[in-house]
A and B are shown apart, each in its own frame.
Chain A
Amino acid sequence: MADVSTKANSVSIQGLAQSYGSLQVLKELSLDIPEGEFLVLLGPSGCGKSTLLNCIAGLLEPTQGKIFIKGKNVTWEEPSQRGIGMVFQSYALYPQMTVERNLSFGLRVAGMAKDEIDSRVKRASEILQIEPLLARKPMQLSGGQRQRVAIGRALVRDVDVFLFDEPLSNLDAKLRAELRVEIKRLHQRLGNTMIYVTHDQIEALTLADRIAVMKAGTIQQLDDPLTIYNKPKNRYVAGFIGSPSMNFLKAKITGTAKALGLELGANKLSLSGYKFAGVVAANTDVEFGARPEHIEIIRGAAKGKDVFPAVVELVEPMGSDSLVWLEMGDQKISARVESSAHYKPREKVGLKFRVEQASLFDVQSGDRL
């Protein structure tokens, strides 16, 4: 069956399932990735993101489903026939070969002419600025240099799709930030489709055109980073994205359909600024989710409408800003404030929630309301 919709997409996955015995790693997963998109598969370890990537690469045979690359069904193709290049967490450079031989290995396997190999290696090493390293062995390179060579190995093969399997996880924080920018720059320059697996939400938010947040073999939400961050589809996505993570408060929806309110502990909060996804009945138990930067601290004892009394527990200065941990009744809340604002432990303050930027989740299903 020729599927027309797959033609415009660089990679298209249809009903992909993977299981080891009774363990289902991927559950009938479908995903369309347009040409030139930077897609990040994000999730905790064991969520199936690497399995999905390995299936796309052809290193794992799916139990079910189809994979299209550039409109061609490649489900049964060898990895080298799929037009993909892959970059691994451990770099996976051939230790006995020089950088130059590492880069050209795939081309030599394909039986390419020497001149063509040389010019491609030259171009790739220029782009990645590894020309001075060509004669060295991987052992003599730093982690960042090794990962550059690993990217170069995909680059020389002139592939349609780049696959990254947690490429920065073995690097220290500073180098990780540097290479992150370089990968983004590379994507802007080449315009290839890139699929990037990570458990690091910062990498996901900074690099992605779209993020697929995964859990237990399913995609929970597939959206652009800001939508994922601001309008998480469910409790799981909301809790996974954001550092420090979102505050979740037990609450109950009250009032009439015209003027819904939120019962938060002993106090009430007006929900007039909140955009509901659907119709919500009163008296529903919900979780009220507010990110630390969407909570305002007001000095002095709480007074006025929608201001909640709280007590400062401790302050974590983080340089650019500070995180204040508070107790509101029996619930703990973190709020982000400017680092110039000083709060003392046990100080009594008022809290104001920006309802229009908050999220409400159904307690039972965890879905966004």
Chain B
Amino acid sequence: MSTQAIEPSGPKPPNWFEWERMVVYGFLFLTAAYFLVPLYIVIITSLKNLDEIANGNIFIPTLNPSLHAWYRAWFEVCTGLDCRGIHPNFMNSVYITVPSVVVSIAVAITTGYALNNWPFRFSEGFFTILIIGSFVPYQVMLYPMVLLTKNLGIYSTLYAVIFVHTVFGLPILTLLFRNYFASLPVELFKAARVDGAGFWRILLQVFLPMSLPMLTVAVILQVTGIWNDFLFGVVFAGPQNYPMTVKLNNIFTSTMGVKEYNVEMAATLLTGSVPLAIYFLSGRYFVRSIAAGAVKG
């Protein structure tokens, strides 16, 4: 240490061992580990064979990884007498998710836009009902929905699941889009009207291209929500149309023969692959869109 005092000038040198900093990093590492360690175990277990699982440590990866368990999970794993693996149910989930997401977002964006920009006589009341609707627990609506879909003649088909997801997605999505449109400058809407654009043209050519952040949020919300849904799948799809989540549960709970942990882990990863992919692909936009609106650019 030099005895000569350093005169303060320019940026203050960082002190890496401040206790506040240590606490922050410590907490971050802890939470990261909390989420990553289970994922790590699931991945390495899915690559092991049954002997290695029975005799090895669950934290230590195998030396000769194999995708055999993944193949079994996709094509061969049995629940009851059905030994086709989970791929038919993966497709069911796709058939449910894609139309539900597209229709619910398309309807919600139009409704939100109409509520915000083309107020009609009861639009405020209508909006209030929608807000209340987004807080009603699904369980309350379950039995009425079963009756409704039965009467519509679509109960126990994929259409029933799609219908239910679309309807239940609408309140929150409409709320999101209405508030997003309310945050856009109203002069933009006026300018488009002076330019002669009507209801649909303003929506499609002016507002929609500006809605990318909110669209991203809506897609993530809906894809993950619908893909991960269990309740509606069990209740409305019927056994031949079970989505992946229900199938996965059946694999876990079927008690026939040896418990194939590696296959179960592989099936878990396959089921989680779609939301995971969505998060990775849109992560950047997701963060950006959550931050958007916080500060006006």
Interface residues in chain A, defined as those with a beta carbon under 8 Å from any beta carbon in chain B:
54, 57-59, 78-80, 84-86, 88-96, 105-106, 109-110, 150, 153, 157, 165
Contacts and interface: CB of A to CB of B under 8 A. Distances in A.
Main secondary structure of the interface of B (DSSP, over half): helix
B193 to A, nearest CB: 5
A329 B188 CA distance: 55
Contacts of A58: 193
B109 to A, nearest CB: 16
A121 to B, nearest CB: 14
A86 B190 contact: yes
Given A79-B194, A105-B197, 20 more contacts: A57-B194, A59-B193, A78-B196, A79-B190, A80-B194, A86-B191, A88-B187, A93-B191, A94-B188, A94-B191, A94-B192, A94-B206, A95-B210, A96-B210, A105-B195, A106-B194, A106-B195, A109-B196, A110-B196, A150-B191
B185 interface: yes
B194 A86 contact: yes
Contacts of A78: 193, 196
A84 B264 CA distance: 68
Contacts of A91: 187
Interface of B: 185, 187-188, 190-197, 201, 205-206, 209-210
Contacts of A95: 210
A349 to B, nearest CB: 51
A90 B185 contact: yes
A2 B297 CA distance: 51
Contacts of B188: 90, 92, 94
B203 to A, nearest CB: 13
B228 to A, nearest CB: 33
Given A94-B206, A95-B210, A109-B201, A85 B187 contact: no
15 contacts: A59-B193, A59-B194, A80-B195, A80-B196, A86-B191, A88-B191, A89-B187, A90-B187, A93-B191, A94-B191, A94-B206, A109-B195, A150-B191, A153-B191, A153-B195
Give the one of B188, B196, B197, B206 with max A CB within 10 A. Answer: B196
Nearest to A86: B194
A91 B197 CA distance: 17
A270 B206 CA distance: 66
Nearest to B297: A139
Contacts of A79: 190, 193-194, 196
B190 A92 contact: yes
Nearest to B209: A96
